[in-house]
Amino acid sequence: MYPHERSLVERLAGEPFAIVGVNSDKDREELKKTISAEKITWRSFWNGGSTAGPISTRWNVSSWPTIYVLDGEGRIRFKNVRGEQLDAAIDQLLAELKTKTK
């Protein structure tokens, strides 16, 4: 998913948009290498090296990847959308936000 996430970051530069990643890789040093190699520029938190780490436990995530799309008020509006559906969900929320701020 990294290429698609990079394209979203590039396309939505300057918009009220952010990606936050959570990673459960066991080896934190290897994870740092992956972040560098994949050019991950967004926040990516380490989940303690387990899918049962503190972040996934708090958010009730039981499988990877799990995608939550939150609106401007922090509410989960979409879950597990990918590809074109993810783009459409984000575009919809940005349009709603622009309508509210007019």
Instruction: Name the residue ranges covered by the structural domains of the chain.
Output: 2-95
List the CATH code of the domain at 2-95: 3.40.30.10
pLDDT (0 to 100) of residue 70: 96
Question: Cα separation of 11 and 7, whole Å?
Answer: 6
Structure tokens of 52?
């049962």
pLDDT of residue 19: 96
The distance from CA 53 to its chain's CA centroid, rounded to whole angstroms, is 17
Element (H, E) at 20: strand 20-23
pLDDT score recorded for residue 40: 95
- Tens-digit pLDDT string for the chain (102 aa): 899 999 999 999 999 999 999 999 999 999 999 999 999 999 999 999 988 999 999 988 988 899 999 998 999 999 999 999 999 999 999 999 988 876
For residue 45, give both structure tokens: 């938190």
Q: Give pLDDT, residue 62.
A: 84
